[in-house]
């Protein structure tokens, strides 16, 4: 973590100085804003936390509820989301508080019809990520985003007690083309309205999204016509795997899932209830917490379940639905009009909680959108960049809905005979689906943001379009062992990782030095073309290098000046841009990620941690062309 860049600052480095004139929660609503976010769930807060770090972007976050969430709803955090949390700076806090899911067990009737453990599998395969799969109350994830917001220069906080009642887009208006009608929900103010004009509106307002309805969107799909109960509880039981993630299938009472929760005692149960008629809703069943408990006891039998406290419960029905488009631009106007209204999370895709993907994919939506909005609103990129949001995230959501459709039926389906591998079907499918449930199968298609795979052979373990898979390195200046991916922060910057060829020690005639000299000084360099005058050399594109030698074989003082730049108000040296393979621990990044040792390569990483391109170290024209297609000329 770097701070003191522009002068010594005492106290908590996560608390930034407040920007002059920042709006306080409870102040009168502004007439105009740059971004209005509807909904303070995971999608809305993930976006707000990014925008809050840029004080010149005026953001308004409205939420119909009157206070922050305290309990209930989602709890699963995939390893991909944990990697994202690392960029936000709170992954370690989540790891400390959360329960780690290391093993998943499967229970079914044995030979004597009594429940028996029939399979157990490792929940996150070795080598998948440096991060664990964890479970934690969704409200705590909200808290961590809210902390980032209130400690940011903007001091951004949600405006509770407000919902979007409607909006109108004027495509011909150059500024603030979206007129939003907000309605108060607080007691005594119900029905009162206010109007705010915005440059962009992001609908994170759930499955019954008013923003989606206002732009003519609709959710399409089907329902499984199956009711499930979900309950967070404190209980005493003799079920052996109470602190394991478990699938339990009874002989004739259905199934349930056990999900241990944070704190060592709390547990969540998902319990199969009744089938629903074609037009029946879960609410029509008239069931409550005692019905969920009674069904769980029957499934668990002969094990005992003595419930001491019900913390939260709900009954829901499974649905798999996806909206047509994630923004307001009609198909025939894409070439002439940029999006002004966009949807995220449950506003554009809904699914069951069986695979634990709802909160994760929702945050993934706005992690993709956040840097794009920042790039457009700060003038780095043309508004047309925002078209890529719908294209990339709708494809990701479509894959999730299709997967969830299949997985929900596997979990709720009838048992079948074991295959030759000895696993029941649900366990076998669970193992096969682990890359998906870890959040690691998303691969963005070839586009301006995702290059063609002509040089993929130079880094076979870092597929273009997939998330940047971190690996251990040692930082040269201070010999610190760390993960290379942990130098990526939520700051809307691209990263250039230069992987040196064998024998290159950073000297003047080496491939890394020659490329760094061109990047720093040549007028055709993307650093020169896309960084506004007066900004630090790494303000838009952050260049880092990784060498094959151990750290004692290299000299930081002889590294190219681009890799030890002088930045900030005082021109202090940045000592954190040069890394070496971690040879002492036998975890060589070049081997682990299939980097061509003979020639090295460039790996471009987008601000959302996805690999944008892989190129040779000599590919000056291709490197310049990649950024020219995304960023404006600012030099």
Q: What angle, rounded to 10 degrees, do the helices at 138-150 and 79-88 form?
A: 20
How confident is the model over 566-589, as pLDDT tens digits?
A: 999 999 999 999 999 999 888 899
CATH domain 32-70+139-219+321-430 topology? FAD/NAD(P)-binding domain (3.50.50)
* Residues sharing a CB contact under 8 Å with residue 192, sequence separation 6 or more, in sequence order: 183, 184
Q: Could you give the angle at the alpha carbon of 367 between the alpha carbons of 448 and 396, nearest 5°?
A: 65
Q: How far is CA 100 from the centre of its chain?
A: 18
- pLDDT band of residue 398 (cuts 50, 70, 90) is confident
Contact 36, 202 (CB under 8 A): yes
Q: Identify the band that residue 280 occupies on the pLDDT scale cut at 50, 70 and 90.
A: low
Tokens of 460: 């076979």
Q: Work out the pLDDT band at 401, boundaries 50, 70, 90.
A: confident
Q: What is the largest CA-CA distance in the chain?
A: 78
Measure the CA–CA gap between 520 and 125, rounded to whole angstroms.
41
* pLDDT tens per residue, range 41-77: 999 999 999 999 999 999 999 999 999 998 878 889 9
For the beta carbon of residue 190, count every other beta carbon within 10 angstroms. Answer: 10
**pLDDT exceeds cutoff 80 at 415:** no
Q: How confident is the model at residue 278 (pLDDT cuts 50, 70, 90)?
A: low
Q: Give 92-126 pLDDT, tens digit per residue.
A: 999 999 999 999 999 999 888 889 999 999 999 99
**Whole-angstrom Cα distance, residue 35 to residue 363?**
17
In this prediction, residue 431 carries a pLDDT of 83
* Confidence class for position 396, pLDDT limits 50, 70, 90: confident
**Is residue 174 classed as helix, strand or coil in its secondary structure?**
coil
For the chain, give the percent of residues with pLDDT over 90.
Answer: 81
- The pLDDT of residue 412: 61
20-38 burial code (b ≥16 CB/10 A, e <16):
eeebeeeeeeeeebbbbbb
Residue with the larger pLDDT of the pair 599 and 409: 599
3-state class of 340 per DSSP? coil
At 185, is the pLDDT very low, low, confident or very high (cuts 50, 70, 90)? very high
Tell me which H or E stretch contains 579: strand 578-581
Given this model, what pLDDT does residue 283 score?
65
Angle, CA 73 vertex, CA 189 and CA 343 arms, to 5°:
70
Pick the CATH number of 100-131+222-318 from 3.30.9.10, 3.10.105.10, 2.60.40.420, 3.30.530.20: 3.30.9.10
Residue 418 above 60 pLDDT?
no
302 prior amide bond cis, ω within 30: yes
Q: Say yes or no to pLDDT of 426 above 90.
A: no
DSSP at 205: -
What are the two backbone dihedrals, phi and then psi, of residue 306, each rounded to the nearest 5 degrees? -105, 100
| Per-domain boundaries in the chain | 32-70+139-219+321-430, 100-131+222-318, 453-628
Q: How many residues does the chain have?
A: 635
Quickly count: other Cβ atoms within 10 Å of residue 91's Cβ: 22
Distance CA 304, CA 158 (A): 44
Residue of 223 and 8 predicted with greater confidence: 8
Range name among 176-190, 199-213, 266-280, 508-522 with the lowest pLDDT average: 266-280
With cut-offs at 50, 70 and 90, classify the pLDDT of residue 36.
very high
Q: What's the pLDDT score for residue 281?
A: 63
DSSP state of 576: -
- Specify the pLDDT at position 84: 98
- What's the CA gap between 614 and 623, in Å, rounded? 9
- Higher pLDDT, residue 496 or 275: 496
- Nearest partner of 315 among 112, 72, 542, 560, judged by Cα: 72
Phi-psi domain of 483 (left: phi exceeds 0; alpha: psi -120 through 50; beta: other): beta
Which pLDDT value is given to residue 218? 92
Fold of 453-628: Glutaredoxin (3.40.30)
Within 10 Å of residue 214's Cβ, how many Cβ atoms? 22
In whole angstroms, what is the distance from residue 548 CA to residue 337 CA?
47
E-strand stretches of 143-241: 159-160, 162-169, 178-184, 193-203, 219-237
Q: What is the pLDDT of residue 408?
A: 66
Mean pLDDT lowest among 51-60, 327-336, 411-420, 444-453: 411-420
Alpha-carbon 378 to chain mean position: 22
For the stretch 446-491, pLDDT in tens is: 999 999 999 999 999 999 999 999 999 999 999 999 999 999 999 9
Contact indicator for 249, 232 with CB cutoff of 8 Å: no
Q: Which of 38-47, 95-104, 148-157, 276-285 has the lowest mean pLDDT?
A: 276-285
**pLDDT value of residue 316:** 84
pLDDT of residue 425: 81
CB 375 within 8 A of CB 385: yes
**Whole-angstrom distance, CA of residue 545 vs CA of residue 581:** 11
Residue 284's pLDDT is: 66
Find, among 342, 341, 362, the residue nearest to 350 by Cα.
362
Q: Measured between alpha carbons, how far apart are the two ends of the chain, in Å?
A: 29
């Amino acid at each position: 973590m770097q701070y003191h860049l522009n002068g010594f600052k005492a106290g908590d480095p996560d608390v930034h100085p407040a920007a002059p004139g920042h709006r306080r929660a409870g102040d009168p609503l502004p007439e105009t804003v740059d971004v209005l976010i509807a909904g303070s769930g995971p999608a809305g807060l993930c976006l707000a936390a990014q925008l809050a770090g840029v004080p010149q972007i005026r953001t308004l976050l409205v939420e119909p509820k009157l206070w922050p969430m305290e309990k209930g709803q989602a709890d699963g955090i995939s390893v991909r989301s944990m990697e994202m949390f690392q960029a936000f700076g709170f992954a370690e806090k989540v790891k400390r508080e959360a329960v780690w899911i290391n093993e998943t067990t499967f229970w079914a009737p044995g030979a004597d019809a009594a429940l028996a453990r029939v399979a157990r599998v490792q929940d996150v395969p070795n080598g998948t990520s440096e991060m664990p799969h964890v479970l934690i109350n969704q409200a705590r994830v909200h808290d961590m985003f809210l902390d980032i917001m209130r400690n940011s220069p903007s001091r951004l906080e949600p405006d509770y007690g407000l919902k979007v009642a409607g909006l109108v887009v004027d495509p011909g208006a150059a500024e603030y083309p979206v007129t939003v009608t907000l309605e108060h929900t607080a007691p005594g103010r119900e029905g009162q309205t206010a109007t705010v004009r915005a440059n962009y509106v992001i609908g994170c307002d759930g499955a019954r999204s008013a923003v989606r309805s206002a732009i003519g969107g609709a959710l399409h799909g089907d329902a499984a016509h199956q009711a499930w109960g979900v309950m967070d509880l404190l209980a005493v039981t003799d079920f052996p795997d109470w602190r394991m993630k478990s699938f339990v299938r009874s002989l004739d009472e259905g199934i349930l899932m056990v999900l241990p929760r944070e704190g060592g005692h709390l547990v969540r149960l998902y319990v199969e209830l009744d089938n629903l008629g074609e037009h029946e809703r879960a609410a029509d069943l008239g069931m409550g917490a005692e019905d969920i408990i009674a069904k769980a006891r029957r499934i668990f039998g002969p094990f005992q379940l003595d419930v001491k406290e019900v913390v939260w419960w709900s009954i829901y029905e499974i649905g798999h639905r996806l909206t047509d488009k994630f923004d307001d631009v009609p198909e025939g106007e894409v070439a002439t009009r940029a999006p002004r209204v966009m949807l995220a999370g449950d506003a554009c895709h809904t699914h069951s909680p069986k695979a634990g993907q709802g909160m994760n994919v929702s945050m993934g939506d706005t992690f993709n959108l956040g840097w794009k909005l920042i790039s457009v609103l700060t003038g780095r990129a043309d508004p047309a960049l925002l078209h890529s949001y719908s294209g990339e995230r709708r494809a990701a959501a479509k894959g999730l809905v299709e997967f969830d459709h299949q997985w929900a039926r596997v979990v709720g389906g009838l048992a079948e005979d074991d295959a030759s591998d000895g696993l029941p079907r649900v366990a076998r499918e669970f193992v096969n689906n682990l890359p998906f449930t870890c959040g690691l199968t998303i691969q963005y298609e070839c586009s301006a943001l995702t290059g063609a795979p002509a040089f993929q052979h130079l880094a076979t373990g870092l597929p273009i379009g997939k998330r940047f898979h971190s690996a251990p390195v040692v930082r040269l200046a201070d010999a610190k062992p760390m993960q290379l991916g942990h130098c990526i922060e939520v700051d809307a910057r691209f990263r250039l990782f230069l992987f040196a060829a064998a024998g290159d020690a950073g000297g003047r005639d080496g491939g890394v030095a020659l490329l760094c000299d061109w990047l720093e000084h040549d007028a055709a360099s993307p650093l020169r073309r896309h960084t506004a005058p007066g900004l630090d050399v790494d303000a838009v594109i952050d260049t880092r290098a990784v060498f094959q030698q151990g750290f004692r074989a290299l000299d930081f003082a002889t590294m190219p000046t681009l890799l030890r730049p002088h930045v900030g108000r005082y021109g202090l040296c940045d000592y954190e841009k040069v890394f070496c393979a971690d040879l002492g621990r036998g975890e060589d990044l070049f081997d682990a990620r299939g980097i061509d040792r003979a020639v090295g390569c460039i790996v471009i990483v987008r601000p959302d941690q996805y690999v944008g391109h892989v190129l040779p170290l000599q590919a000056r024209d291709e490197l310049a062309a990649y950024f020219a297609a995304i960023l404006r000329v600012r030099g």
